[in-house]
């Protein structure tokens, strides 16, 4: 007999990757009886398709931050036919729990969040001190409010055939080492290593191909980087040219990924590639790179981590003072030939 669970997914790419820890925990708990569906934004479909624990993806049509009350109620009525045994609501907002309530799902699990005592009935108070990591919080919801002893990290499936086709499409030589730059961060500039630093690093990596990944919103950043690189021969700007599932395959092919604390950092870690993650205003104590092959660079300044989107002092020293030479030193210490 099947046990059907619906997940109300988070709205951020990084959180979506980390949610796979929950999916793994649920699969371990319910084994072959589990049918797992995910209610997620359309952008996340390609990413979720690389998570083998998930059976079906249901597109969440509601823009982030919008109430759309009547539409959420109607969506709940439409989901009743799926006869879910349980729903786990990962966002802490009140509106994210409306659709599951009207879907009449018997067990509705989540943290209290925005006082969701009526909408949820399997509800827990979040103790941030006891559950500092996002993955701790997610997996606790699969374990009756208690942190599991073992949490399995995200692990995305890689499509080798699609990977080969992508390299051919963009004229990237599979025989020359590929270094991927992920220079954007949706959160804000306090998480973004400066474009001039990325450009200088590219100038130092003369024996490698540089591939820049990001969305169409990141083309200004990638253009700024490329304009400052001396030799652009082996530099490929793929911002806005790939889907999230394509991004998985390209990141998996990289010799190294140089990235900010961003959604692409979490995707890179889940492909088991080598990662150097640069942290500015945020902290590895909350959303660390989940990979044994990842290293972090963060300066211990008095003002960081501040968790601000922009630097309140205007100097961004937490990022500016991490020089390209420091990153090269980190790369050299791995003894991996570039």
pLDDT at residue 286 in the model: 87
pLDDT band at residue 335 under the 50/70/90 scheme:
low
What percentage of the chain has pLDDT greater than the value 90? 93
CATH number of 3-140: 3.40.50.2000
Please state which architecture CATH assigns to domain 160-333.
3-Layer(aba) Sandwich (3.40)
Distance CA(15)–CA(182), nearest Å, equals 17
Question: Taking residues 191-203, what's their average pLDDT?
Answer: 97
Q: Is the dihedral of CA 13, 28, 80, 109 positive or negative?
A: negative
Taking all residues of the chain, what is their mean pLDDT, rounded to a whole number?
95
What ranges do the domains of the chain cover?
3-140, 160-333
pLDDT band at residue 334 under the 50/70/90 scheme:
low
| Whether pLDDT at 332 is above 90 | no
Domains 3-140 and 160-333 share a fold: yes
Beta strands in the chain (DSSP E): 3-8, 34-41, 56-60, 86-89, 107-111, 122-124, 178-182, 209-212, 235-237, 256-260, 275-278, 294-297
């Amino acid at each position: 007999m099947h046990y059907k669970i619906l997940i109300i997914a988070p709205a951020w790419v990084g959180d979506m990757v980390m949610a796979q820890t929950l999916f793994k925990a649920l699969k371990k708990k319910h084994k072959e009886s589990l049918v797992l569906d995910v209610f997620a934004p359309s952008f996340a479909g390609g990413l979720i398709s690389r998570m083998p624990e998930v059976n079906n993806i249901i597109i969440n049509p509601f823009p982030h931050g919008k109430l759309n009350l009547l539409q959420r109620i109607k969506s709940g009525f439409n989901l009743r036919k799926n006869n879910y045994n349980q729903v786990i609501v990962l966002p802490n907002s009140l509106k994210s729990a409306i659709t599951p309530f009207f879907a009449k799902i018997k067990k509705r699990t989540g943290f209290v969040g925005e006082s969701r005592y009526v909408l949820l009935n399997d509800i827990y108070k979040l103790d941030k001190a006891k559950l500092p990591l996002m993955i701790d919080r997610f997996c606790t919801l699969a374990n009756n409010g208690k942190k599991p002893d073992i949490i399995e990290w995200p692990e995305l499936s890689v499509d080798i055939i699609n990977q080969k086709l992508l390299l051919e499409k963009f004229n990237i030589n599979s025989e020359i080492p590929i270094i991927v730059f992920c220079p954007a961060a949706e959160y804000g500039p306090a998480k973004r290593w400066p474009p001039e630093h990325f450009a200088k690093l590219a100038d130092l990596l003369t024996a490698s191909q540089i591939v820049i990944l990001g969305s169409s919103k990141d083309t200004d950043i990638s253009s700024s980087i490329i304009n400052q690189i001396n030799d652009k021969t082996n530099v490929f700007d793929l911002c806005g040219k790939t889907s999230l599932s394509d991004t998985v395959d390209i990141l998996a092919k990289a010799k190294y990924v140089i990235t900010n604390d961003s959604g692409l950092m979490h995707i890179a870690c889940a492909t088991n590639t080598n990662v150097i993650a640069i942290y500015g205003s945020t902290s590895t104590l909350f959303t660390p790179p989940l990979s044994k092959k990842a290293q972090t660079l963060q300066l211990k300044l008095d003002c960081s981590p501040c968790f601000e989107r922009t630097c309140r002092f205007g100097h961004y020293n937490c990022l500016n003072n991490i020089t390209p030479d420091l990153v090269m030193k980190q790369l050299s210490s791995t003894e991996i030939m570039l």
